[in-house]
Amino acid sequence: MVNDIRLVDGWANGARLCASPHFNQRPDNEVSLLVIHNISLPAGQFGLPYIDQLFQGCLDIDADSSFCDLVGLTVSAHFLIRRDGEVVQYVSCDDRAWHAGVSSYQGREGCNDFAIGIELEGTDDLAYSDAQYQQLQQLTLALFEAYPMLNTDSIVGHCDIAPGRKTDPGESFDWQRYKRGLRP
Ligand SMILES: [Zn+2]
């Protein structure tokens, strides 16, 4: 399911809209970094509604015993790409989503200020799906077009901007395969 993705006013057409209240304004209106993450809720389980719920601030805490750790957490990302390739958008790319946490890139702290966060539904050790790579590449190219400061050198993993604290997207993410698909 490859969609034709295009950004209009910070929103990707071709994505399913699932608006999150967890965002605020970018202090400098700068978008110059792309951060790749992974997430699964519960850990290692896919296709469930809990990621949407978490980012929307309405997680059903009773649905799984592991969710008690997530009580009161106000987080979001701009995008989630599910195992089947579905792209979900929670926050406009023009706004600041809350995905990076305590982080630093080339000496600058607080990467949320200037980053776009893309979550891949997955884990650090399970291969991502072909559909996820295809959609991630399409989405990335659309973001390059909409935000001229983004390019293949301004893409990092969460692990790169929060080392020691975060490991995603993990060993399972094939950076070479991803970046090969971004060449013109
Ligand atoms: Zn992450």
Model pLDDT for residues 44-83, shown as the tens digit of each residue? 999 999 999 999 999 999 999 999 999 999 999 999 999 9
Checking if the pLDDT of 32 tops 80, the result is yes
User: Is-contact 79 139, C-beta < 8 A?
Assistant: yes
- What backbone torsions phi and psi does residue 146 show, to the nearest 5 degrees? -80, -25
Strands in 9-68 per DSSP E: 11-13, 16-17, 23-25, 33-39
**Cis previous bond, 169, omega within 30:** yes
C-alpha 159 – ligand 1 centre gap (Å): 7
11's CB contacts (< 8 A; 6+ apart) are 17, 89, 92, 93
Checking if the pLDDT of 1 tops 90, the result is no
C-alpha 36 – ligand 1 centre gap (Å): 7
Listed residues: CB within 5 A of ion ligand 1: 37, 158, 168
Q: Is 119 a catalytic residue?
A: yes
C-alpha 148 – ligand 1 centre gap (Å): 24
Q: Residue 4 has what pLDDT?
A: 80
Q: Which of 119, 121, 145, 171 is catalytic?
A: 119
Q: Residue 183 has what pLDDT?
A: 81
pLDDT band for 168, please (50, 70, 90 cuts).
very high
**Secondary structure class of 183 (helix, strand, coil):** coil
